[in-house]
Amino acid sequence: MRQKVDAGRIRGLGGADQGLATAEAESRRQRYGTNDILEVVGNPWRELAEETAKDPMIWFLVGTACLYFALGSTAESVVLLVALLPLVGMDLYLHRRTQASTAGLSRLLADRAAVLRDASWSDVAATELVPGDLTRVASGQPFPADGLIVAAEEIQVDESSLTGEAYPVRKRPCPPLPSDAGEPIVDGVHWGFAGTRVLTGTALQRVVFTGQETLYGAIVRSATRGTRAQTPLQRAVANLVRTLLVAAAALCVILAVVRLRQGHGLLDAMVSATTLAVAALPEEFPVVLTVFLGTGVYRLARRRALVRRAVSVENIGRVTCICSDKTGTITEGRLRLERLVPEAGVSSQHLLVMASLASRGDTGDPIDTTILERLSEERLAPPDHRVLAAFPFTEVRRRETAVIEVEGTTVAVSKGSPEVILGMSRLGHEARASWLGRIQDLASGGQKVIACASGELDRSWPEGEPDRDLELLGVLVFEDPLRDGVLEAIRTCRRSGIRVLMITGDHPDTARSVAASIGLGGKAPKVLSGEDLEGFASGPLARRLAGVDVIARAMPAQKLALVRALQSEGEIVMVTGDGVNDVPSLQAADVGVAMGERGTRSAREVASIVLLDDNFSSIVRAIAEGRQLFKNLQSSFQYLLMFHIPLVLTATFIPLAGYPLLYLPVHIVFLETLIHPTALLAFQELPLTESLGKVQRSGHVRFFDRGDWIEIGVVGALGTLLVALGYDRSLGSAMDVEHARGMALVALTSFGVALTGMLSRLHSRAAKILCAASLALVIALVQIPSLAAWVHLKPLHLDDWAIAVAGGALAATVPHVLAKRFRRRRPGPLRSY
């Protein structure tokens, strides 16, 4: 939290009783601007429209709907136009939530401020403050800007909004800056930051930075100006759709021209092109993607992970690195009185009761609050007493003392820093050394230790704070406990090759202890501090992070730089956090995960996923769900491609070869009624695998790898050969077109059923029902004479059925079995995009 100070802004204003004149304040406002953290740029609705117009899926749906309407398929056109509504509605919703998030960021800021102007204190709007102003901040109030503390009384500050840490921070007045200083660096203990709150005491603050120049302002600026690029899956589907559209349009034109040149007439040419267009238009792909992402949202919700951006369902399955906040994510983010270590002859209950006498419940100090809560939990109560004097904790004294009267006896009770309390006790040299050793062992585990002592005072007590000859009662050990399941979650990540990097604002020793306790980095985690990373650019920073397990004393800007550095090395980065300090990194991450219970509203709004139970282990389950979703989506796309290859090729090249039309529009409609529900439903509920598998990192991502494309091509070619040969065999010398069409339709349907069974392994109930329904429908359509005649087909013979069913099964399954046997497939969804 060390910051540079532009000494010119406060030169000549060093005194704790020297404010600005109104005229000078107005001049500075003209120079530095208002103390306004929020910056509204442009027309938000225009920006929304521009962002929406950049989405290729929107234009694809509009274009496809227009094309269907031009071809006379009004129902399909209406369906696609209706599908636009949820997409645009989601953009509107997210835009509104982003505005709410920005407003939420401002709620931690001060609305009013006490400022010394024209030699008198006045209450003004916080936005009117300027650099050089002297403000007074009392207990419970937030600092209105970033500035140096020039005077303080027993001040403790809650800086969790910036650092995420649960412990209060003691502040001290800043010593006078050198008169010739240009931009000296001042330690964070002397700063009061906008958005942080005073817990105890009163501070006088000399304002240095206002508005967008504050640390809090930098966070908001990062949050409101951040951009989100398309995910690889979105780009892959968009590219695939564009390619298929161009190919379909070219084939339609070629087919229409050739049929005309063959002398089949204009009507035949139009029917041929229309039929091919309906068969070749790739409208299923964006629809399947949308539906599967929606299904992923539901499945993750069952895992206690609320998805705010559906595309994150894809990214979460590709995560290779988790940057986790410590407080509130790995730990519970609250102090707990873990142990009571009493002196010999003293009971734990007596130690707790006496410590409570030196605690106050109205200060907001988490240590005092925790002690009093523990006292209540154990149903203990302090003796009836009267407080004669109280000496609150100060940074100089490092202890808190109460002098009370109990049954006519005057007793002093003091708690605080172990070194100070031991120095006030009657312990001998050896006993004191022994206690210091025990305390050092406790503190080395990342725990906070305070000591407690008491003693009777005689009637000649001079009413000053007792500071000697007290009896040591023992020590109290506090810790921020680990969350349930975090140990196993870390082990699972390590087994899967997912890197976990803990980023915290805490002290390096505490961070190292927590990392070792969860198995992060083994017994000796490698820790770097934020200061160690200063001055490193993105590339060198990424190399600097090699082998690092923990980043301690990290600032918000450094967290953001760390995320970007990891992304530059090809990592798919997930960031977890719960505070305002995490907002920039949550937004920049490939997947931002906010804690739902403890997380601030701002963190939840910018994050793409919110964990409802704040459990780190839920992250691992969510990654498993994301990976399974990708596998399911991949199977659905394989099915669509493998089925459409024979459909489009036979619809194109059989007429091009001069044969009668293979498919009429009604046949295409029938096939589409089988394709759509199968692609949407058969692969959604495939069972979740227990193991995450090993992640693989590669710079270039594809939806399918080379082996997948070869398999798709071979299966599609065999399916094409099956349909073409079946059509030619059944056409025969008699040119029985209706019989040949029935054979082709049955062969293609059988091929599709075999594909469904192969890719889904019939693990889902939907897959079984759809396979049975497809066979039942094609049997009814072909074998019932009245239905067959209505759609220009003829019933098949038994040998036709045998050839069609057996050929379809072999064409769909044999290449897959051979590929699985002879080609080593890379595990998990990260193998390709």
Sign of the dihedral defined by the CA atoms of residues 29, 32, 37, 39, in that order: positive
Contact 485, 340 (CB under 8 A): no
| Residue 275 included in any domain | no
Compute the distance between CA of residue 509 and CA of residue 552 in angstroms, rounded to an integer: 9
Instruction: Indicate whether 810 and 664 sit together in one domain.
Output: yes
- pLDDT computed for residue 451 by the predictor: 93
Going by C-alpha positions, the residue among 420, 427, 431 that lies closest to residue 466 is: 420
Instruction: Indicate whether 608 and 691 sit together in one domain.
Output: no
Amino acid identity, position 79:
V
Domain count, the chain: 5
Q: Could you tell me the CATH number of the domain that includes residue 443?
A: 3.40.1110.10
| Residue 424 included in any domain | yes
Compute the distance between CA of residue 67 and CA of residue 440 in angstroms, rounded to an integer: 76
Mean pLDDT, the chain cut into blocks of 10 residues (833 residues total): 72 75 88 73 60 58 64 61 62 51 58 87 88 87 87 78 65 77 75 84 87 73 51 68 76 77 70 68 71 69 64 75 80 83 92 91 79 90 88 80 90 91 90 89 78 88 84 90 82 84 78 84 82 66 81 77 84 81 80 72 69 72 79 86 88 81 77 83 70 53 74 91 91 84 93 91 88 93 90 90 92 80 50 38
| Residue 264 included in any domain | no
Q: Could you tell me the CATH number of the domain that includes residue 765?
A: 1.20.1110.10
How many Cα atoms within 13 Å fall on the side-chain side of residue 635? 27
Q: Could you tell me the CATH number of the domain that includes residue 162?
A: 2.70.150.10
Instruction: Indicate whether 700 and 826 sit together in one domain.
Output: yes
| Residue 81 included in any domain | yes
Among candidate residues 614, 645, 671, the one where a domain is terminated? 614
Instruction: Indicate whether 762 and 811 sit together in one domain.
Output: yes
- pLDDT computed for residue 696 by the predictor: 54
Alpha helices in 682-764 (DSSP H): 706-731, 737-760
| Residue 233 included in any domain | no
Which residues have C-beta within 8 Å of that of residue 740, sequence separation ≥ 6?
Answer: 662, 726, 727, 728, 730, 731, 732
Residue 24 burial (CB count, 10 A): 16
Amino acid identity, position 336:
R
Going by C-alpha positions, the residue among 82, 81, 145 that lies closest to residue 112 is: 145
Instruction: Indicate whether 673 and 764 sit together in one domain.
Output: yes
Instruction: Indicate whether 30 and 50 sit together in one domain.
Output: no
Compute the chain's Rg from CA coordinates. 36
Among candidate residues 205, 225, 245, the one where a domain is terminated? 225
| Residue 513 included in any domain | yes
CA end-to-end span of the chain, whole Å? 42
| Residue 609 included in any domain | yes
Q: Crossing angle for the helix pair 215-225 and 74-106, nearest 10 degrees? A: 180
Instruction: Indicate whether 589 and 494 sit together in one domain.
Output: yes
How many Cα atoms within 13 Å fall on the side-chain side of residue 129? 38
Instruction: Indicate whether 641 and 751 sit together in one domain.
Output: yes
Q: Which two tokens stand for residue 25?
A: 């304040």
Q: Give the domain extent around 666.
A: 628-831
Helix (H) or strand (E) holding 339: strand 336-342
Among candidate residues 106, 131, 159, the one where a domain is terminated? 106
Instruction: Indicate whether 653 and 588 sit together in one domain.
Output: no
Instruction: Indicate whether 450 and 596 sit together in one domain.
Output: no
Q: Could you tell me the CATH number of the domain that includes residue 535?
A: 3.40.50.1000
Tracing tokens 């939290």 back to the chain, one arrives at: 1
Compute the distance between CA of residue 327 and CA of residue 177 in angstroms, rounded to an integer: 34
Instruction: Indicate whether 346 and 373 sit together in one domain.
Output: yes
Give buried/exposed letters for 186-197 (b at 16+ CB in 10 A, else e).
bebbbbbbbbbb
The gap from C-alpha 617 to its chain's centroid, in whole angstroms, comes to: 14
- pLDDT computed for residue 828 by the predictor: 43
Contact 473, 453 (CB under 8 A): yes
Sign of the dihedral defined by the CA atoms of residues 429, 435, 436, 437, in that order: positive
| Residue 135 included in any domain | yes
Instruction: Indicate whether 135 and 216 sit together in one domain.
Output: yes
